[in-house]
Amino acid sequence: MNRNEAASGVRERPVSVIIVGAGSRSMNYASYSRKHPERMRIVGVVEPNSQRREHTAKTYDIPEAMTFSSVEELALRPKLADAVLNGTMDDLHVSTSLPLLRNGYDMLLEKPIGVSEDEVMELYRTAREHGNKVMICHVLRYAPFYIELKRAIESGAIGEIVHIQTEENVDFHHMATAFVRGKFANQARSGSSFLMQKCCHDLDLIAWFQSGTRPVRVSSYGSLLQFRESRAPAGSGTRCLTDCEIEAECVYSAKKLYVDRPLWGAYVWPRYLDGVRLSDAEKLESLGSDNPFGRCVWRCDNDIVDHQAVMLEFEDGSTAVHNLVGATAKACRTVHITGTKGEIQGVLEDGAFVVRRPSLTDGGGTFREERVEISVSNDMHGGGDHRLVEDFVRVVRGDGEASFSTSLDHSIVGHLIGFRADRSMASGRSMSIDWSMITSERPASKTNGEPYPSA
């Protein structure tokens, strides 16, 4: 630290970061460094796929000595950067994080934190023991839509929260690609349930809206209703381009989705993330042979549910419901929060919400409402991705004004809701959350002014 840095307590040089797992999410977060090289610099990569490792090294001008095929290889070296950006698959999050936390790296970790409560708590204990600054990629806390909505709640505009209702609708082509044909379709393969993979964000938002009020009971219901062989329409085959008689009119046609459009290239085409682009003829050949994305959506190895409802009770008697619905026509996240003095209702993708209050004074009506317009950028997740990275950089640099909103401390709450919800769905029983276990693991301090223990 130079003299100016020592005086302010904030580093002035760019934060140096090593990418761990050069997948699509990691590369999106890492791209922040290309827009703001004075704040963040990518200095290394850990990636077992040699082509992807080389492509990433070329993209960020990383010397060969700073490229690694495994976390174990990196962990054998002294600390080589300020932080790591861990974007590995869900079931690898904790095993790849622990040795790097022990080496002193701060960390930006893709959600979910882990695939079980035990994993999450092990990571938490390790981070606390070694004093690491860890943030989870709950990017929606940084989306302008939710930031303004949270401000409206905190302003007292709707009084005390009585009920929260949120919904995530996963559109048909995303559902088919990621959760039926793709890497998140089978829990044994991906490690995470549909709820934990897709709705960590939403459960975290509910916990955030209720900061300081703990959830105490969870119930959940769901099933695999649509995408199973017994629901396959007449004339469908095993693969869209080989033996299907209805491919021309099917909305799940692999040709329509992945060649004619084309959608979800990073998922569907081998080496897409390495910069390789296939011709249409090569794509059709791939989908007609052994590419898993050419399979009929009703005849895959998917075993996760395609819809789920989660119900919560909080310690103050307030409630919340989150609905996860797969294969909708339009993707959207909705929110409706009712308080003792009014309500807030909106849709993230619409870029606006309304604050509505009872009234008998405005022209004979029974309520008045204010529409809050939000400028939603073209970035993913409502503009939250790079705002998250920017805040992480500030945290690592020691900026006391950083939000640190998605700290490991804060992010555990939504994860516990999700794990208990899945257990409830599997068992058919309501699940309680034992907060004595969590409070015993958490440091007795305040973060961002939120009471301990908080969300």
CB 39 within 8 A of CB 261: no
Segment 299-326 mean pLDDT: 97
| 3-132 and 140-227+302-381+407-441 agree in CATH topology | no
Question: How many angstroms separate the CA atoms of 209 and 179, rounded?
Answer: 28
Segment 260-281 mean pLDDT: 93
What is the 3-state composition of the chain as percent helix, strand, coil, each rounded to the nearest 5?
A: 40, 20, 40
Segment 91-105 mean pLDDT: 97
Q: pTM of the full predicted structure?
A: 0.89
| Strand-by-strand arrangement of the 332-339 sheet | 367-373, 352-358, 343-347, 332-339, 161-171, 319-328, 307-314, 215-223, 431-432
According to CATH, the topology of domain 140-227+302-381+407-441 is Dihydrodipicolinate Reductase; domain 2 (3.30.360)
- Segment 380-420, tens digit of pLDDT: 555 689 999 999 999 999 999 999 999 998 999 999 999 99
Domain boundaries 3-132, corresponding CATH code: 3.40.50.720
Mean pLDDT over all residues of the chain? 91
Task: Determine the pLDDT at residue 453.
Answer: 36
Residue 447: pLDDT over 60: no
Segment 334-338 mean pLDDT: 98
Q: Who wins on pLDDT, 388 or 2? A: 388
Q: How many helices (H) and strands (E) does the chain have?
A: 18, 15
Beta bridge partners of 108: 85, 135
Residue 223: pLDDT over 60: yes
CB 164 within 8 A of CB 337: yes
Residue 451: pLDDT over 50: no
- Segment 311-324, tens digit of pLDDT: 999 999 999 999 99
CA 244, 182, 207, 450 dihedral sign is negative
Question: How many angstroms separate the CA atoms of 357 and 355, rounded?
Answer: 7
Beta bridge partners of 326: 170
CA 412, 413, 415, 416 dihedral sign is positive
Decide the pairing of beta strands 83-86 and 106-109: parallel
Question: How many angstroms separate the CA atoms of 435 and 453, rounded?
Answer: 9
Give the chain's length: 455
Task: Determine the pLDDT at residue 221.
Answer: 98
Domain residue spans in the chain?
3-132, 140-227+302-381+407-441, 229-294
